[in-house]
Amino acid sequence: MKVESSGVVMIGTCEIKGENCTAKGTPGAITAVWRAPGRNQVNVCHNCLNEQISKGIWEIAGARIMSKT
């Protein structure tokens, strides 16, 4: 699914709440992305954003996730 990043970092809670989420229960640094169709906003932390992209769930034009190996 294609998403568009807002590029804005703010404080809030992550809506994805993945394994390594940094803003699951307590507010932390998040960004807003818009999902197509309908441009629904999803607030997501850095770790969950990377996880969604690396698993192929989300796609951001021009985005790459660097391997940790």
Work out the mean pLDDT of the chain and round it to a whole number. 90
Instruction: Give per-residue pLDDT as tens, 28-43.
Output: 999 999 988 788 999 9
- The CA distance from 22 to 50, in Å, is 12
For every one of its 69 residues, what pLDDT tens digit does the chain have, with 9 covering 90 and above?
899 989 999 999 999 999 999 999 899 999 999 988 788 999 999 999 999 998 999 998 776 666 665
**pTM for the whole structure:** 0.84
Domain boundaries, the chain: 3-54
